[in-house]
């Protein structure tokens, strides 16, 4: 304005002047922003791994249940053969001597069949136990990935607080918490 040089600054103009006079603070903001982006990427990878191991644990548990059902079916079949064998043994006692050979052969046949059925049932039970063990291991890894993801998310939240408050000590806290999250992620990757 001519004469009085009266000039009014808007709020936006004031912030631009403040940012220009505090260049070091903007450098810190830039580092915090980059750190947050890196942490978010790492957190996304950890989250994906957590979901994958949870899906594996569920699949393995399902396979264990299927094998356990197959084992139960074989044991039921074994029981049916045992019942037939018992009836044949009972008939051996009741029938005349000339008819006993047929029942004796049936008893021997049921005995052989039961041995094969027992082996199959025990194999299904062993398979079920193996799937259960694998499911437990995958679930443990899922928990480790979930812990790593949670700690990384906490470091991201601290990063946002550090950006808003411009506290240098809080930024160091971000790095400490992020390091803990990375350590948990490394433990999960190493299957610990």
> How far is it, in rounded angstroms, from Cα 184 to Cα 127?
31
Confidence at residue 16, expressed as pLDDT on a 0 to 100 scale: 43
> How far is it, in rounded angstroms, from Cα 57 to Cα 103?
50
- Could you tell me where the DSSP H helices lie in 95-167? 100-165
Confidence at residue 60, expressed as pLDDT on a 0 to 100 scale: 97
Q: Which of 100-104, 149-153, 180-184 has the lowest mean pLDDT?
A: 100-104
pLDDT mean across residues, the chain: 88
Q: What residue spans define the domains of the chain?
A: 30-189
Given pLDDT bands bounded at 50, 70 and 90, which one contains residue 151?
Answer: very high
Instruction: Yes or no: say if 75 and 122 are a contact pair by the CB < 8 Å rule.
Output: no
pLDDT by residue (tens digit) across 126-143?
A: 999 999 999 999 999 999
Whether this prediction's pTM lies above 0.75 is answered by no
């Amino acid at each position: 304005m001519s004469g009085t040089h009266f000039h009014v600054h808007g709020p936006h103009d004031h912030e631009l002047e403040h940012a220009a006079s505090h260049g070091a603070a903007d450098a810190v903001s830039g580092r915090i922003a980059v750190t947050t982006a890196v942490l978010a990427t790492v957190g996304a990878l950890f989250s994906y791994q957590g979901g994958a191991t949870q899906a594996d644990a569920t699949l393995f548990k399902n396979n264990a249940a299927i094998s356990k059902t197959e084992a139960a079916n074989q044991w039921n079949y074994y029981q049916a053969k045992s019942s037939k064998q018992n009836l044949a043994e009972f008939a051996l006692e009741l029938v005349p001597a000339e008819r006993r050979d047929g029942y004796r052969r049936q008893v021997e046949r049921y005995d052989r069949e039961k041995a094969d059925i027992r082996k199959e049932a025990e194999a299904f039970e062993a398979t079920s136990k193996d799937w259960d063990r694998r499911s437990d291991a995958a679930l443990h890894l899922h928990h480790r990935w979930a812990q790593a993801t949670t700690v990384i998310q906490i470091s991201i939240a601290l990063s946002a607080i550090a950006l808003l408050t411009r506290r240098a000590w809080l930024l160091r806290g971000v790095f400490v918490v992020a390091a803990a999250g990375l350590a948990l992620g490394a433990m999960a990757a190493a299957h610990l």
